[in-house]
Amino acid sequence: MKKSRIKWILIPLFIFVLLAGISIIYIILPAKQEQNNPLALIPNHAIVIAETNNPWNNWQEVRSSEPWKYIQTHPYLQEMMEGMSDFDTLFQKNENLMELLNDRTVYFSMHLMPNLELGYLYAVDLKSLSRLALFKTQLKNWLEPEYLVTETTVNSHDLIEIYEPNSAERFFVSIIDRQLVVSYERKLLQEALDGYKDRDWYQADNFEELHLELEEDRVRFFIQFSELEDFLNRYAAEDSGFTAQLGQNFTFSGLNFSIDKDNVLQAEGSTLIAQNSKSYIEALHNSGSSERSAFSIAPIRTGLYLSYTFDNLELFIENLKASSMVDEKEVNSYEENIEKLSKFLDFDLMQSLIEWVDSEVSIFQFESAFEVNKIEMVLGLRVKDKKIAAEELDRFERQIRRKTPIKFETINYYNHEIRYLALKGFFKVFFGKLFQNFEKPYYTLINDVVVFADNPNALKTMIKSHVEETTLDYSQSFTKFNKRFNDQVPIFAYVNTPVLYETLLSYADYEMKQSLQKNKNYLTSFPQIGVELNTKEAGFESQMKASYLHFKDLEEIQDFETYHFEDIYDWPQNEEDAFFVGDIHPSDMEAKQYELFYSNGAMRIKVELKNGELNGDYVSYYPNGKKKMEGKFRKGKQQGLWRYYSSENKILERKRF
């Protein structure tokens, strides 16, 4: 048996042997009448805690599901499951052992250790067992000669070290207050024992209510967001700011886990808001909700769709102002910035927004249809009336043009005007840090949503999808999955995993990138993930769902395809006209030059720009780097003498425009 397989099987087998021994002497030792909360055994820095009162029944539910049958084909889990097979069969044949195991509460916690590796702690409620002395003797009889059992004392705690010679693995065991505690990490076990009498993290505000709300017959998961931040940052190449927001805004989620008849993984429960949360999350919690609908304009290859809804913008802004500011000085600064903007533009900017912005703010991440390996981010504001919105934005833009030297010309794409809002930091002033990346956005109106992006190609991708009817609104997969959630909630998130996978790669460090690539098929077999938070008195009612579909079946569903640029964005050719130049889509209208590359990194096209328009020298190249065609543009049109070359750099054709 391989070492990695043995490591994961040792603790379950040990617990089985110990429980078998307990069953023999179950009535010998008296039960203590008083006992600390078993959660006190879990050190403060747990990332995730799992709890179950029916471990065997819960395990049977998981092991018979289609998602688990596929997941266990992963080489890592396959080794583990081969080792578990005998253990599983033994329990199946022994009803007494099954009843014994199901009659005990089992805890599991995951921790990020100082060496940045993960450490795990297991705890089992032994109920009527109150002393360790008898087991010091019995353990050797039960485990030797396969294991080497030694005893030691650390900080007045009796520890038992169990060593498996074949694998050279060792783990550590103790019994305290009728709790069997086991870990591969001696330091983690020692920490659990040292703080047991004094630890009170589980007494945080509203945690007890969170715990009691969960169903006892299901697996219960608790996520501690302050620790999740460090764990996620461990695998990120750069800090996106998103993980910090999680830790600042939330304390715990408590969730019941289950798998339904359609093989959808479900986690339902509650999420608590941090007491000192001063952010848009608290503002959303206090601002009601409305129906979400912006997904209707999201491209079908949207990797992430976030929806924030409220009763009305004025209420949300007031709550955001109150929750984002920690003292009077900051409140005054916020209001001064609004006043300065209004004075600069010569009209009441806040009142203008309230008149045309409706009750949903959305963020979309999707693949660009025009740039290789480019993930676009777009902000959407649903409008009350398209005509009023257009008039107010036009007034806004006219005032900016009057005050600044901007010369950007409107782009018309599929009968949609793409315009430019040259006012740095505008969205951060009104909506906070979440929108700080939208500094000088381009914008257009699609249906009843004004969408903003840092480059016009993001908007072109959305317009193209809208015109071609390839949005989430036309996706059968999304429509079916979306029906599992409420239409009206303040916070909703949707993830298309195969598409978002590319984004994760771009943020991952080298180690994590290798892991993602190795496990791609397993990750993308859960192609749709949804999360909703619905307001309750203390925090949010929470739902998380993930659909399952074998990765081979994904290839037949367009919704989960990713762009293959060498196939769908091959540079347009015209056999009758060697000097044909296809559409070019610069991502920066203020850039002086546009460049396009082959997948091998070689230059493909280089052309000069002026105000986003082709204007100046144009050169295209063969993949070997040799010049293919050259000429000049003037105001977007070919002009003067153009030359077309062979791959050996010989002139094949000339043409004058």
Per residue in 582-607, pLDDT (tens digit) is 777 777 777 889 888 887 778 888 99
Question: Would you state the pLDDT for residue 140?
Answer: 67
pLDDT more than 90, % of the chain: 28
Question: Would you state the pLDDT for residue 126?
Answer: 73
Q: Tokens for 128, please give them.
A: 């009527």
Q: How far is CA 457 from CA 302, 462, 466, in A?
A: 15, 9, 14
330: confidence class by pLDDT, cuts 50, 70, 90: low
The answer, yes or no, to whether residue 624 has pLDDT greater than 60, is yes
Amino acid at 292: R
Average pLDDT on 309-337 reads 72
Tens digits of residue pLDDT in 509-551: 777 788 778 888 888 889 999 999 999 988 999 999 999 988 7
228: confidence class by pLDDT, cuts 50, 70, 90: confident
Q: Where are the alpha helices (DSSP H) in 410-496?
A: 426-431, 456-467, 476-482
Q: Which residue has the higher pLDDT, 410 or 268?
A: 268
Q: Which residue has the higher pLDDT, 83 or 213?
A: 213
Phi, psi of 106 (to 5 degrees): -115, 135
Q: DSSP label at 624?
A: T
Q: How far is CA 616 from CA 276, 394, 447, 608, 638, in A?
A: 56, 31, 37, 5, 9
The answer, yes or no, to whether residue 202 has pLDDT greater than 80, is yes
Q: Which residue has the higher pLDDT, 142 or 211?
A: 211
Name the CATH code of domain 571-656 (choices 1.10.3470, 2.20.110, 3.40.50, 1.25.40).
Answer: 2.20.110
368: confidence class by pLDDT, cuts 50, 70, 90: confident
Question: Would you state the pLDDT for residue 2?
Answer: 44
The answer, yes or no, to whether residue 570 has pLDDT greater than 70, is no
The answer, yes or no, to whether residue 87 has pLDDT greater than 60, is no
Q: What is the mean pLDDT of the chain?
A: 79
Minimum mean pLDDT among 67-71, 353-357, 603-607: which range?
67-71
The answer, yes or no, to whether residue 508 has pLDDT greater than 80, is no
The answer, yes or no, to whether residue 319 has pLDDT greater than 50, is yes
The answer, yes or no, to whether residue 18 has pLDDT greater than 80, is no
pTM: 0.81
Q: How far apart are CA 456 and CA 417, in angstroms?
A: 10
The answer, yes or no, to whether residue 571 has pLDDT greater than 50, is no
407: confidence class by pLDDT, cuts 50, 70, 90: low
423: confidence class by pLDDT, cuts 50, 70, 90: low
For residue 494, give the H/E element and its range. strand 491-496
Contacts of 408 (CB under 8 A, 6+ apart): 419, 420, 422, 589, 590, 611, 612
Range with top average pLDDT, 199-203, 338-342, 467-471, 580-584: 467-471
Average pLDDT on 30-52 reads 78
Q: What is the DSSP string of 312-331?
A: -HHHHHHHHHHHH-SSHHHH
Average pLDDT on 361-381 reads 86
Tens digits of residue pLDDT in 173-192: 888 887 888 888 899 999 99
32: confidence class by pLDDT, cuts 50, 70, 90: very low
Question: Would you state the pLDDT for residue 35?
Answer: 57
Domain boundaries, the chain: 3-28+50-199, 278-560, 571-656
Q: How far is CA 311 from CA 126, 278, 321, in A?
A: 51, 20, 16
Question: Would you state the pLDDT for residue 230?
Answer: 79
Q: How far is CA 232 from CA 111, 228, 253, 455, 509, in A?
A: 12, 6, 16, 29, 11
Which residue is associated with the tokens 């070997």?
Answer: 624
Question: Would you state the pLDDT for residue 331?
Answer: 55
Question: Would you state the pLDDT for residue 584?
Answer: 77
3-class state of residue 60 by DSSP: helix
Question: Would you state the pLDDT for residue 473?
Answer: 92
Task: Report yes or no: 274 and 250 within 8 Å, Cβ to Cβ.
Answer: yes
Average pLDDT on 346-369 reads 88
Question: Would you state the pLDDT for residue 399?
Answer: 79
Beta bridge partners of 271: 253, 540
Which residue is associated with the tokens 């590319």?
Answer: 502
Average pLDDT on 218-226 reads 92
Q: How far is CA 474 from CA 188, 301, 380, 469, 480, in A?
A: 51, 12, 19, 7, 11
Return the closest-CA partner of residue 300 out of 529, 477, 488: 477
Q: Which residue has the higher pLDDT, 102 or 73?
A: 73
Question: Would you state the pLDDT for residue 137?
Answer: 63
The answer, yes or no, to whether residue 338 has pLDDT greater than 90, is no
The answer, yes or no, to whether residue 21 has pLDDT greater than 80, is no
Q: Which residue has the higher pLDDT, 429 or 369?
A: 369
Q: How far apart are CA 655 and CA 649, in angstroms?
A: 17
Question: Would you state the pLDDT for residue 590?
Answer: 73
